[in-house]
Amino acid sequence: MVGRLKRRPEFLAVAGTRRKHVAPGLILQVRRHDERQRPAPGEPPIRLGLTASRKVGNAVVRNRARRRLREAARQILPAHAAPGHDFVLVARADTAERPWTELLGDLSAALKRLGLWRDAPRNDTTITDVAKNGEAGA
């Protein structure tokens, strides 16, 4: 699960670290949690903020770009982003029209470039394990 960045100071703190990756479809900014600013107890260890300026396009285009970034983050961040960080995804002019697989590739590449990629947890239950436990169909 991914939490949300809601207040302007949270966005500014992430931008202030100047740790980012620029890709054709998005800009990913990252900030590690510290004592000054971190999620409240019980909140997810990963927080996300989305932004799209007027340079991206009119309101319809900006909203589409944010929706696409939100869905890309929903698919990739919970499984592959290192916990303990705040992420801000900034829409670019190409975000709304970029092919979906390339947009996902941009986000994955950004995480890898920033050293925050982790492999998805594997399901260690194999067919042989199921057969050993007698749970296979007769």
Sign of CA dihedral 30, 69, 45, 75: negative
Q: Examine the pLDDT at 61 and tell me if it is beyond 60.
A: yes
Q: Is residue 19 part of a domain?
A: yes
pTM of the model: 0.82
27: left (phi over 0), alpha (psi -120 to 50) or beta: beta
- What does the buried/exposed string (b/e) look like for 103-135 if buried means 16 or more CB atoms within 10 Å of the residue's CB? bbbbbbebbeebebeeeeeeeeeeeeeeeeeee
Task: Give 52's pLDDT tier (boundaries 50, 70, 90).
Answer: very high
Q: What is the pLDDT of residue 130?
A: 45
Per the structure, the complete domain to which residue 122 belongs is given by 3-132
Number of domains the chain contains: 1
Q: Is residue 20 part of a domain?
A: yes
Q: Is residue 137 part of a domain?
A: no
Q: What is the CATH number of the domain that holds 29?
A: 3.30.230.10
